[in-house]
C-alpha cells in the first residue's frame, strides 16, 4: 500500500524542516519492538544520518518501567505487560544507536513530553520543529506528535520511518495527523529537504527499508 497516496486528500499542507530550528526524535526503537520496527530500520538510519550531517539535535527515547506498581499506571492496566527498565527488551535495536553527541531520553508513557525534560531541553536550544520517527506509529509516535503540536512545535512525521502492528492502524494515524497535527513526509523528502539547505559536504540519502 502506498500510504502517501492514501493520505494525499489530508496531507495538503507544505513545509520543509529548517535544520537550525529542527530536532529529530527517534521514538522507542527498542528490542521489544524489533519485529514491528524491522521494515523501517533502513529509513530511520537514513534520516539519522541526514540529521547528523546537518549537526541537528537527535534524541532517542526508551520506554521502560522500573516498578510497574508505581510507574505503570493505565498502561499496565490496559496492556497487562510493560517493558522492564534495564532488560534486553528495553535496549535499543543494535542497528539504531546514539552517537556521541546524541541524547537518550527515558520515559514511561506514550508521550515523550510527559514527565520528562524534553520540552525544556528543546526550548533551551531554540528548537521550533521536530521530525518524528520510530514506533509505534499510533501510540508513542502519534501521542508525542500531537502534544508537540499543542506546544507549538511544527511537526514533520516520517510516514515510511514509523511503524505499528498493521497497515490499517498506521494509515489511520497518518490521516489523523495530516488532518490536524503534522506534515507527513517520506524519508526521501526529509533527506532531500535537508540536503537542499547545503552543508559544504556531500550527503547521500535514500529509502532503504
Q: Answer yes or no: is pLDDT of 62 > 50.
A: yes
Q: What is the mean pLDDT of residues 24-41?
A: 98
* Window from 1-10, 27-36, 44-53, 148-157 with minimum mean pLDDT: 1-10
Q: Answer yes or no: is pLDDT of 204 > 60.
A: no
Calculate the average pLDDT of the chain.
Answer: 93
- pLDDT attached to residue 68: 80
Domains and CATH numbers, the chain: 3-196 (3.40.50.850)
- pLDDT attached to residue 70: 85
Location of C-alpha cell 539504531: 96
pLDDT tens column, 63-73: 999 988 789 89
Q: Which residue has the higher pLDDT, 92 or 203?
A: 92
Please spell the DSSP secondary structure of 136-203, one letter per residue: -IIIIIHHHHHHHHHTT-EEEEEEEEEE-S-HHHHHHHHHHHHHHT-EEE-HHHHHHHHHHT--SS--
What is the 8-class DSSP label of residue 107? Answer: E
Q: Answer yes or no: is pLDDT of 80 > 90.
A: no
To the nearest 5 percent, what fractions of the chain are helix, strand and coil? 40, 20, 40
For the beta carbon of residue 33, count every other beta carbon within 10 angstroms.
22
Give the phi and the psi of residue 149 in degrees, each rounded to 5.
-60, -45
What is the rounded CA–CA span in Å between residue 114 and residue 107? 8
In this prediction the pTM is: 0.93
What is the rounded CA–CA span in Å between residue 16 and residue 22? 10
- pLDDT attached to residue 197: 79
CA atoms within 13 A on the CB side of 156: 27
Selection from 118, 176, 175 nearest residue 151 by Cα: 118
What is the 8-class DSSP label of residue 79? Answer: H
- pLDDT attached to residue 81: 82
- pLDDT attached to residue 198: 56
H helices, E strands: number in the chain: 9, 6
Q: What is the mean pLDDT of residues 151-180?
A: 98
- pLDDT attached to residue 160: 98
3-class DSSP string for 47-84: HHHHHHHCCCEEEEEEECECCHHHHCHHHHHHHCCCCE
SS3 of 115, please?
coil
Amino acid at each position: 500500500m502506498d500510504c502517501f497516496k492514501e493520505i494525499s486528500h489530508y496531507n495538503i499542507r507544505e513545509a520543509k524542516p529548517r535544520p537550525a530550528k529542527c530536532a529529530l526524535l527517534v521514538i522507542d526503537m527498542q528490542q521489544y519492538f524489533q519485529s514491528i520496527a524491522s521494515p523501517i530500520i533502513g529509513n530511520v538510519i537514513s534520516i539519522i544520518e541526514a540529521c547528523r550531517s546537518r549537526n541537528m539535535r537527535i534524541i532517542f527515547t526508551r520506554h521502560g518501567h522500573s516498578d510497574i506498581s508505581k510507574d505503570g499506571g493505565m498502561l499496565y492496566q490496559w496492556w497487562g505487560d510493560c517493558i522492564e527498565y534495564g532488560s534486553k527488551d528495553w535496549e535499543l535495536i543494535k542497528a539504531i544507536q546514539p552517537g556521541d553527541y546524541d541524547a537518550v531520553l527515558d520515559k514511561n508513557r506514550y508521550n515523550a513530553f510527559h514527565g520528562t525534560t524534553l520540552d525544556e531541553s528543546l526550548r533551551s536550544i531554540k528548537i521550533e520543529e521536530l521530525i518524528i520517527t520510530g514506533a509505534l506509529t499510533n501510540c508513542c509516535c502519534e501521542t508525542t506528535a500531537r502534544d508537540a503540536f499543542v506546544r507549538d512545535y511544527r511537526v514533520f512525521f516520517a510516514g515510511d520511518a514509523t511503524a505499528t502492528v498493521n497497515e490499517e492502524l498506521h494509515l489511520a494515524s497518518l490521516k489523523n495527523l495530516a488532518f490536524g497535527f503534522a506534515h507527513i513526509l517520506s524519508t526521501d523528502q526529509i533527506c532531500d529537504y535537508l540536503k537542499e539547505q547545503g552543508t559544504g559536504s556531500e550527503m547521500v540519502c535514500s529509502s532503504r527499508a
